[in-house]
Structure 1
Amino acid sequence: MKNEFIENELWYLSISGAFQRNNVYEENIDDKNGNKKDAFKKQLRACIVDITQRYHVFVSDVEHVGHISALIASNKDEILNRGKLTFGTAQKLLNLYLKYMWCTDRLAHIPPHCPIDSIILKNSKQYKYKSWTQLDCEDEYMRYITDLREQASGKNLHLAEWELGVFNRRAEKKII
C-alpha cells in the first residue's frame, strides 16, 4: 500500500511539473466533468510506466530520445493543443518521472538526461529565450543536453546529479 501511494505521488508530481503553466489542452474542449482529461492521463501514465521499465538497464541518448518521440506518437488526442504533446512537454514528463524514480531508488540506473525547463535552460549557453514548453525539435533538445552535460562533467557530475544540485541551490535560496 505504501509503495502504491509513493508511486501515485511521483506520478502526480511529474504530470503537475510537466503540465503546469503549459498550454497542454485545446481551448474550449467539451470536458465539463473531466472524463476526457482523466482518460488521457490514465493512458499517458500507462505509457510512461511501460517506457520506464526499459530503464532498468543502460539507455543511450538515441534510445532515450526515441522514447520521448514514442511518448508523443502514442498519446495523440483531440483534447490536446494541436492534437499532441510538444517535445518539450513529453521530455519534461518522462525526465521528471525518471528523476523521481531514481531518487527514490526505484530505478537501477541513473537517468540519461535531466528535465529541461526554464530554470535549467538559464544555465545553458545555447539558451535562446524560447520556452521549454514550445521545444518541438530533437536537435535543439540535444544541443541543450550536450551543453548542460559539458557543464556537469566540468564538475565531475553526471547530468542528472548536476541538475539535482541546481534545484537544491534554488530551493536553498527560497528557504523551503
Structure 2
Amino acid sequence: MKRTVPPNETACSEPQHYTNIASLMEFGSRAVPDILRDGSYRYGVAQKLLNPALQYYWCLGHIPAPPHCPVDRIVVQKTALRGRVNWTKIQNETQYPRSD
C-alpha cells in the first residue's frame, strides 16, 4: 500500500542534500578504503547512489520531492555539461554541477 507524505513534511534543502552526499562519501571511505581507488569513495559515486534511492522513495510516496534528479552519463551527454563532467571522478562538492 502506498504511503503518502504528510502535508507538513518538508523536502530536504539543497545545502542539506550536499551535506548528506558528503557524509555518505566519508562513510564509504572509512568503511572500505582497501577496495576503493586511491582509498577514497568519490563524491560523484555517492551522489549516484543517493539520488536514485531518493527518487524511488519519492515515487513510492515515502518522502517529498528530492532536491536533485538522478543524472548519469547518458543524461549529461544531452546537456551543456557534455564532455565536462565525469560523475565517477567528482571528488567534492565544488566539482558537482549546480543548478544555480
TM-score by length of 2: 0.75
Give the helix-richer structure, 1 or 2.
1
Corresponding residue to 2:47 among 79, 91, 99: 91
Residue number in structure 1 paired with 2:92? 137
- Deviation (angstroms), 1:119: 1.6
Would the alpha carbon gap of residues 89 and 72 (structure 1) be closer, same or farther in structure 2, given more than 3 Å must change?
Answer: same
* Structure 1 residues 106-145: aligned runs within 5 Å: 106-107=62-63, 109-143=64-98
Residue number in structure 1 paired with 2:4? none
Corresponding residue to 2:16 among 63, 85, 88: 63
* Structure 1 residues 10-89: aligned runs within 5 Å: 57-76=10-29, 77=32, 78-89=34-45
Distance (Å, rounded) in 1 between the aligned partners of 2:83 and 2:95: 10
Higher-RCO chain (CA-CA 8 Å, sequence separation at least 6): 2
Distance (Å, rounded) in 2 between the aligned partners of 1:81 and 1:87: 13
Name the count of aligned residue pairs: 90
Residue number in structure 1 paired with 2:57? 101
**Structure 1 stretches lacking a partner, 5+ long:** 3-55, 148-176
Distance (Å, rounded) in 2 between the aligned partners of 1:140 and 1:73: 16
Structure whose CA Rg is larger? 1
TM-score by length of 1: 0.46
8 Å CA contact retained: 2:22, 2:92: no
RMSD: 2.1
**Amino acid corresponding to residue 25 of structure 2 in structure 1:** I
- Deviation (angstroms), 1:134: 1.3
8 Å CA contact retained: 2:77, 2:83: no
Distance (Å, rounded) in 2 between the aligned partners of 1:106 and 1:126: 31
**Structure 2 stretches lacking a partner, 5+ long:** 2-8
Structure 1 runs of 4+ aligned residues shifted over 4 Å read: none
Residue number in structure 2 paired with 1:168? none
